Amino acid sequence: MPTPDDLYETAIQQRDAGDKDAALATLKQAFDLDSNFAIGHGLAAKLCADLGHFDEAIAHARKVVELEPDDAFSYTALSVIYQRCGRIPEAEEAKARAYYKQMGID
């Protein structure tokens, strides 16, 4: 039985081959095994944004922040997803939170 990491690697290969829908479906299998698979949620956010599934992209990016709240990069990635989804005020807020995390300010 494949692990979430195995499924993630498969999703990367599918994405690289140009099949983003298949990659997203594979990641959903990984989430069935581990709903807290942070790196998978990060990739899913990017794939969903690429496919125009903006609400789902934001949900996955928020999940990464929830799982890794002390990681400044999580907030930076959330900011980028918000930007790609046209939600600029939220992107600016997430960017500010990334800065504060990076500086050690809560």
Domain count, the chain: 1
Q: What is the CATH number of the domain that holds 92?
A: 1.25.40.10
Residue 28: domain span: 4-103
Q: What is the pLDDT along the chain (106 residues), one digit of tens a residue?
A: 999 999 999 999 999 999 999 999 999 999 999 999 999 999 999 999 999 999 999 999 999 999 999 999 999 999 999 999 999 999 999 999 999 888 888 7
Q: How far apart are CA 22 and CA 28, in angstroms?
A: 10
Q: How far apart are CA 23 and CA 50, in angstroms?
A: 12
Do the beta carbons of residue 2 and residue 10 sit within 8 Å? yes
Nearest to 42 by CA among 94, 82, 77: 77
Q: What is the pTM for the complete model shown? A: 0.93
